[in-house]
Structure formats: C-alpha cells, structure tokens
C-alpha cells in the first residue's frame, strides 16, 4: 500500500521553496497546510484501497463488455446460427398409393358430402367383396353408384331414386303417426280417415298394435317426441310401383345382392335394403357420373410441368373411355425447361432447413402424398415462356412398365405418365426427373419381388456447394454429379430414397471456434453474444431496482425522519412489515404467478424489477431516517432553521447531501445483492425469460445433470462473471464506506 506522509511532502516542498526564495515561513501561514476538498479526500482514501480499485476496474471492464461489447460483436442475443453439413438425408419419398383421390367431373351436380366422403372406404369394401359396382342411398335421398371403370379408377354417379318394386319378409313401414296433432303421414298410399281413427284409438303412449281391415299394425316410437312409426305386418308379396315386370324379374331381383346392379331386359336395376329384411328395387336410368376417383398420380416427362385441370380430367376419363382426349397443355416444353433449371430446383432445394439433423423428424410422406396431385408442386412454378394450348393426347398402358399408363401427344412422344407409385422430393415438391423416378420405381419393383429391404443406385443429381446451393457452370447451366442413393423400405407401401446432401441446420451446441468464441447453445444462439446481453440485463436490472429502492426509501425515510411524530410512527411500522416479508419466497410466488398468466417477456421484466424494488426499500428507508434523525439535532440544522431557510431547501441542500455517503454505500452493496437475486430467480426459471438472455438462465440451460460436464465451458465462465460482478460491487461499496468515514465501524 502506497503510503506517504503529508507532513514529509510539505516539508520537502517548503524546503524547495526556501531554496528558491530563501523566505522564512510563518507558523500560521495558510500555504503551510494543503487543504483538500472533502470530495478529493474521499477520492484519495478510496484510491489507496487496493480491493476497491480491483472492484472498480472489474466493474469498468464488465460495463464495457456488457454495454459496448454488443456494439462490436457480430451476433445478437436471439440470432439463430445456421450451419451447412453434408449428410445422408432423405432425398425423396415414394409411396404406393392406397387412397383414391377424387376429381370433379361435373361441378353442377350437388352431392351429399357424407356420401362422397365415404368413397375410399366404400371402394375398399367393394374390393374385399369382389364387387365392381355399388349402389347406395345418400342422406339426401338420392341414389349414388360407385363403379369400377378401369384398374385403379372408379366413377361416382348420382341420380334420383326411382323405385320399381319392393319385397321382403320384414314389417313394412306404412306411415308416421303424430301423437300431438293426431295425424298420420303416409309413406306410400293414403289409407284414409278410418285408419287414422284406428291408429288414434290404439296408440297408447309406448307402442302397442292394432288390427285394421284384417291386417295387423304395430307402433314403434319414432324419431321425434310423441311420434310413432306404424308398421304393417310382413307382406311377402312382390309389390310393384309401376309396371309389373313378371316373375322373371322377381327371381332376378331376389337373386341380386344388396347394392349390386343387375340387368333385366336391357335396363339396369339395383336392390337396396332400407330396412332389415325389406328390399327395394330401383331403376338406374338418369344416373350421371360426377366424380372420378383414381389412385393414379401424374408424372410429367418434363420435370415440374404444370398440368391443367382439363388435362387431368381428360386423361382420367380416357383411361376407361375411348383412350384419347383433347385438353389444354403446355407443348413448347423447351422454354419451360430452361425456366425451371433457373428457378425451380434451385429455389426448392435451398429453402430447406432441417431443424433436427438426426432424421427422426423428417417430414412425413403422408403429408405430401395424400394431397390431390393437383396441389403437389406444379403450382409453385409460374413459367413465363409457357403457354397452354389445345392439343390431343392418347392414353395407353406402358410397354416397359406394368401398371403404368403413358400419355402421349399426337406424334407419339410421351408427355406424361400415370402410375400409382408416387415419388416426390423430401420437401413434398414434384421436382424429380422422370428418369430418376423410373430408376427408383424399377428398384422398388425389384425389391418387392425379392423382398429386399434396401437397394442402392447411382444417379446424377444437381451438385451442391458447401452452402447447399446448386452449382452452375459459366453458361448458367446446372451442374450434376453422380450420387450414391439408397432406396429403403419404410413401411409396407412407403419407401425412402436417401442420398448425401448438404443441408442447412441450426448450429446447436457447437464447440468454440473462431467464428463463435464460446460456441453456441441449445437454440443455436451465439453464447458470447448472449453473455454480453445477459450482462446488460443483469446490470440494468440491478440499477433499476436499486434506483427504485432508493427512490422509495429516500421519500419514506425522509418523511419519517424529518417530520417525526405520527408520520414517523406510521412509516416505521410499514418498514417493519416489509422487513418481515420473506424476499425469496415472495419473488418465487410472483415469478410463478407471471408464469401462470403467460406474461410477455418484456412486461415480465418490468414487473420483476418493480417487485424487487418494492420488496427492498425498507432497508434504505430505515437508513435514511436514522441519518436524518441524528442530523436534524445538529447545530448546522438549527442554524439553517434560524436563518429562515425554507423547508425544501433545508431538506435538499442540507440534509440529503449529508445522507448521501451512507446511501451510496448502501446502494452499491445493494446492486451486488440484487444481481445475485435476479440471477438466482432466472436460474430457477422464474425471472427473466427466454429469448432474453440473462446469466442465471444461461447457466440453467446447460447445467442439467447430463449436460453439466460437457458444457462446463459455458456455465463456469458465466457463473464466474456473476461472482466477479457481485464481488466488485461489494468491494467498491466497502471501499466507499471506508473512504467516506474512515473512523466508522466497518
């Protein structure tokens, strides 16, 4: 510790002067004693304290680090860091379609939604039962016919029901009796007033039966309250609702299965069973197809070629129709291809961010493939050079591949393919070459034959640079490179094509490197940046809270000390109460309450600071009051009063400056403890929340039992920063206390 004696120095100085001027100095000469201003005396004493200097320097460094550091540092506190890495990732998904997708043929026909929604399960039950057609009545009362037109293609038709006949051994519903209005609503023919009277006489609340004209009728509770369905006893006879078609028709109808179509005399009929053991025969005239269902998906020969709706419908109807159709399509495909090479592939491959590199969370193929083909991919490209023109196409089964239909233009060049094995890129877009699709499909067929789980193939896919972008040559053409691919089975009808690709990842838990000095954390945030911002928040919280404490404390303590009497009594009782409130439990409760109300992180920060300030003012108030009480009795205050100074001047010019030293010391120490409390709360997850960085929560995020050892390089420096900041504040506070009042009790 540097020590010098004031007297020694003064003597030396005097000696020097004497040498020059040879002037005798008087004992009472004012120049003999050098008087420092009180502030400079405090400064001098403070500078002598090594620990206080250490604290001051630490704090200056800490402030520069936290408040100036972020200005010069490249990353923000919630800026996600990405990286590119080469990995075996799903390149494409292939699915054997089992679902049928519907295309509307006739948009003018209004249909019942539930009748259409059941189509897939209806088709499945048809396949199981080996039926080729199915007739059912929808909830709207209309007849629906589902017909297998060709392989993997069904049509759904709709028509008005036209009942031709009825038969069966079950009771026949005659009508509905309304117990309130005492009326009968007949199903078919009106049985007259006498029947209504008989029904009214015999209806006894819960049911029952009655005789009418030799037939037995029974009641069953109807759908609405106080209504009854009236059933006649079984009528074995074959009833016609029009022309009597004779016994041959009856045999044919009774032989036919429910829901199936049978032909009689060149007309089509279907048997429906509206109730158990009762059957109705409907004619199927006037039935019109309005939907076509297919398992086929379109693969265009030119990659990502958009197809018009008329093209799709034309192709689908041509499958079971005449085999050729006319539709709008893009025929000048070269211009389109050029366009694609520039835009589509590049765009689609580069926007892919894989959050989880482990491959668990790959986009599920179902999500892409169950969509109607109209939505997969094609719509995203809007080629400028492409024009839809009318052209004629033919549909024919492929010569090379089974189960594939080829759509060719008039001159025989293949234009698109229809198949049930759908291959799409891993992001769901249809941007794969047809050749690659063929190759993959052939491998899958081979795998299905040999029952293999995976097969390898080599194919050229666009080359990627280390940022995952496509590479072009000087002329702007895409560069391709040979790539090893693996086709692997995922489920019975799903396959995945894996290839090595460069993908963009969130760079989680990266080790320290030159770009990220402290590495990155679990959210891909730069740790050093977060340490800086965390320091900012910790220091800021400390200052705001201490300012609030001092503000409340000075006002309350000042009032109590200056006015005394009942004001003093009241304030001091309040101080007693706040002294007794347990700080940490209350802060934990406040934090939990803010959690429960899902408060915004910024509002939360303010509430937290306010709560800490309100909990901490009592100590300052007590200190200020004590000081003012003792100062009030001193002579200088009596003098101030005697000179007639106004009250405000007495308080702020004479009392407050004298309280300042203790206040500053107390506030400096308070800063340290506030930072400590804040970091503890944040560590517990009850203080400042993600994405705002704070030292406490940073430690919490990597200090779990599993990660503690691995990420010690993150949490140990952060913990030391908290320690050093708090120690520094305490040293400075201690040093200030000693400097302000060297004789005081420490």
Partner 1 sequence: MLKYSLKRLLYSAIILIFVMFIIYTLMYVMPGNYVQTKAMELATKPGATKSADEWLEDLNRQYGMDQGLIKGYFTWLKSAVHLDFGDSWKWNKACTQVFSERIWYSFALNVVTMFLEILIAIPLGIHAARNQYGFSDYFATVFSMVCISMPSFFLITVLKLVFAVKLKWVDLTGMIDPRIHDSLSDFGKFLDIAKHYVLPVITITVISIGSLMRYTRTNMLEVLSSDYIRTARAKGVPERKVIYSHAFRNTLIPLITILGGSLVSLFSGAIITEQLFGLTGIGQASYQSMVVGDIPFTMFYLMFISILTLLGNLLADLLYAAADPRVRLS
Q: Does 46 bind partner 1 (CB under 8 A)?
A: no
Residue of 463, 703, 717, 741 interacting with partner 1 (CB under 8 A): 703
Q: Does 716 bind partner 1 (CB under 8 A)?
A: yes
| Residue found under tokens 């986009």 | 363
Rounded to the nearest whole angstrom, what is the least distance from the CB of residue 666 to partner 1 in the complex? Answer: 15
Q: Does 586 bind partner 1 (CB under 8 A)?
A: yes
Q: Does 318 bind partner 1 (CB under 8 A)?
A: no
* φ/ψ (deg, to 5) at 385: -80, -5
Contact by Cβ (8 Å): 469, 439? no
Which positions from 613 through 672 interact with partner 1, judged by CB under 8 A? 672
Q: Which stretch binds partner 1 (CB under 8 A): 29-37, 412-420, 471-479, 707-715?
A: 707-715
Q: Tell me how far apart the alpha carbons of residues 413 and 391 are, in angstroms, rounded to a whole number.
A: 13
Closer CB to partner 1, 2 or 596, in the complex: 596
Q: Does 232 bind partner 1 (CB under 8 A)?
A: no
Residue of 418, 726, 732, 736 interacting with partner 1 (CB under 8 A): 726
- Least Cα distance to 203 among 182, 188, 233, 186 occurs for 182
Residue of 582, 602, 606, 652 interacting with partner 1 (CB under 8 A): 582
Q: Which stretch binds partner 1 (CB under 8 A): 164-172, 276-284, 428-436, 584-592?
A: 584-592
Q: Does 584 bind partner 1 (CB under 8 A)?
A: yes
Rounded to the nearest whole angstrom, what is the least distance from the CB of residue 555 to partner 1 in the complex? Answer: 19
Q: Does 56 bind partner 1 (CB under 8 A)?
A: no
Residue of 95, 153, 283, 679 interacting with partner 1 (CB under 8 A): 679
Angle between helix 656-683 and helix 695-702 axes, rounded to 10 deg: 20
- By DSSP bridging, strand 353-354 and strand 494-506 are parallel
User: Around Cβ 275, how many Cβ atoms within 10 Å?
Assistant: 13
Closer CB to partner 1, 218 or 673, in the complex: 673
Q: Cis ω on the peptide bond leading into residue 106 (within 30° of 0)?
A: no
Rounded to the nearest whole angstrom, what is the least distance from the CB of residue 602 to partner 1 in the complex? Answer: 18
Kindly write down the DSSP assignment for every residue of 150-194, as one continuous string.
Answer: ETTEEEEEEE---EEEEEESSPEEEEEEETTTTEEEESSS---HH
Q: Tell me how far apart the alpha carbons of residues 460 and 473 are, in angstroms, rounded to a whole number.
A: 16
Q: Does 696 bind partner 1 (CB under 8 A)?
A: yes
Residue of 329, 686, 692, 732 interacting with partner 1 (CB under 8 A): 686
Q: Does 593 bind partner 1 (CB under 8 A)?
A: yes
Q: Does 699 bind partner 1 (CB under 8 A)?
A: yes
Rounded to the nearest whole angstrom, what is the least distance from the CB of residue 525 to partner 1 in the complex? Answer: 20
Our measurement of the distance from residue 578's CA atom to the centroid of its chain's CA atoms, rounded to an integer in Å, reads: 44
Strand positions, DSSP E, 352-404: 353-354, 388-397
- Least Cα distance to 422 among 465, 459, 371, 485 occurs for 371
- Please name the residues in contact with 661: beta carbons below 8 A apart, sequence gap of 6 or more: 736, 740, 741
Q: Which stretch binds partner 1 (CB under 8 A): 238-246, 294-302, 399-407, 698-706?
A: 698-706
First to last CA, the chain: 19
Closer CB to partner 1, 63 or 111, in the complex: 63
Q: Does 566 bind partner 1 (CB under 8 A)?
A: no
Q: Tell me how far apart the alpha carbons of residues 472 and 465 are, in angstroms, rounded to a whole number.
A: 10
Kindly write down the DSSP assignment for every residue of 406-424, as one continuous string.
Answer: EEEETTS-EEEEEESEEEE
Binding-site ranges for partner 1 (CB under 8 A): 1, 51, 573, 576-577, 579-582, 584-586, 588-590, 592-593, 596-597, 672, 676, 679-680, 683-684, 686, 696, 699-700, 703, 705, 708-709, 712, 715-716, 719, 722-723, 726-727, 730-731, 734, 745-746
């Amino acid at each position: 510790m540097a020590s010098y004696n004031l007297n020694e120095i003064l003597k030396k100085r005097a000696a020097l002067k004497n040498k020059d001027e040879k002037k005798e100095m008087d004992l009472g000469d004012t120049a003999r004693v050098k008087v420092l201003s009180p502030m400079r005396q405090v400064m001098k004493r403070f500078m002598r304290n090594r620990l206080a200097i250490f604290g001051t320097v630490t704090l200056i460094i800490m402030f520069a680090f936290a408040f100036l550091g972020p200005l010069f540092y490249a990353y923000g506190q919630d800026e996600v860091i990405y990286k590119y890495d080469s990995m075996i990732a799903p390149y494409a998904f292939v699915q054997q379609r089992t679902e049928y997708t519907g295309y509307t043929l006739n948009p003018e026909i209004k249909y019942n939604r539930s009748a259409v929604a059941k189509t897939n399960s209806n088709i499945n039950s048809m396949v199981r039962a080996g039926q080729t057609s199915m007739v059912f009545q929808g909830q709207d009362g209309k007849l629906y016919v589902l017909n297998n037109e060709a392989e993997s293609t069904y049509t759904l038709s709709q028509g008005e029901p036209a009942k031709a006949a009825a038969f069966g051994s079950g009771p026949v519903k005659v009508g509905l009796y309304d117990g309130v209005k005492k009326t009968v609503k007949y199903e078919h023919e009106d049985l007259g007033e006498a029947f209504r009277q008989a029904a009214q006489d015999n209806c006894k609340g819960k049911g029952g039966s009655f005789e009418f004209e030799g037939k037995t009728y029974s009641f069953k509770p109807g759908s609405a309250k106080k209504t009854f369905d009236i059933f006649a006893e079984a009528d074995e006879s074959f009833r016609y609702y029009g022309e009597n078609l004779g016994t041959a028709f009856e045999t044919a109808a009774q032989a036919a299965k429910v829901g199936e179509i049978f032909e009689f005399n060149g007309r089509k009929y279907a048997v429906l069973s509206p109730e158990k053991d009762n059957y109705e025969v409907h004619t199927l005239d006037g039935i019109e197809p309005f939907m076509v269902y297919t398992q086929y998906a379109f693969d265009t020969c030119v990659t990502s070629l958009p197809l018009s709706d008329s093209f799709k419908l034309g192709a689908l109807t041509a499958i079971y129709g005449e085999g050729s159709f006319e539709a709008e399509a893009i025929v000048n495909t070269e211009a389109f291809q050029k366009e694609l090479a520039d835009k589509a592939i590049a765009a689609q491959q580069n926007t892919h961010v894989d959050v989880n590199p482990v491959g668990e969370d790959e986009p599920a193929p179902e999500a892409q493939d169950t969509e109607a083909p109209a939505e997969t991919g094609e719509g995203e490209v809007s080629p400028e050079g492409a024009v839809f023109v009318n052209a004629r196409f033919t549909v024919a089964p492929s010569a090379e591949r089974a189960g594939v239909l080829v759509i060719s233009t008039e001159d025989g060049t293949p234009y698109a393919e229809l198949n049930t094995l759908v291959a799409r890129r891993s992001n769901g877009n249809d941007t794969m070459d047809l050749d690659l699709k063929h190759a993959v499909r052939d491998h899958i067929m081979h795998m299905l034959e040999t029952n293999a789980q995976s097969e390898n193939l080599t194919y050229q896919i666009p080359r990627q640079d280390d940022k995952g972008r496509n590479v072009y040559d000087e002329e702007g053409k895409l560069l391709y490179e040979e790539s090893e691919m693996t086709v692997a089975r995922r489920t019975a009808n799903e396959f995945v094509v894996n290839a090595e690709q460069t993908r963009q990842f969130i760079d989680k838990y990266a080790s320290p490197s030159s770009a990220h000095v402290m590495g990155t954390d679990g959210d891909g945030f730069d740790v050093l940046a977060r340490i800086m911002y965390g320091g900012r928040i910790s220091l800021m919280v400390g200052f705001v809270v201490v300012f609030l404490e001092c503000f409340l404390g000075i006002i309350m303590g000042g009032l109590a000390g200056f006015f005394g009497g009942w004001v003093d009594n009241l304030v001091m009782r309040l101080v007693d109460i706040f002294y007794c409130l347990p700080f940490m439990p209350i802060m934990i409760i406040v934090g939990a309450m803010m959690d429960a109300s899902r408060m915004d992180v910024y509002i939360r920060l303010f509430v937290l600071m306010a709560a800490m300030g309100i909990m901490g003012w009592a100590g300052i108030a007590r200190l200020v009051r004590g000081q003012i009480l003792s100062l009030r009795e001193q002579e200088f205050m009596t003098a101030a009063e005697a000179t007639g100074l106004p009250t405000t001047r007495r308080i702020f010019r004479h009392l407050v400056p004298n309280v300042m030293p203790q206040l500053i010391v107390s506030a400096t120490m308070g800063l340290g403890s506030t930072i400590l409390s804040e970091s503890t709360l944040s560590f517990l997850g009850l203080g400042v929340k993600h994405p705002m960085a704070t030292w406490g929560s940073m430690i919490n995020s990597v200090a779990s039992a599993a990660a503690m050892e691995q990420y010690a390089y993150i949490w140990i420096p952060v913990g030391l920063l908290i320690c050093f900041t708090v120690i520094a504040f305490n040293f400075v506070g201690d040093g200030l206390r000693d400097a302000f009042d060297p004789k005081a009790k420490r």
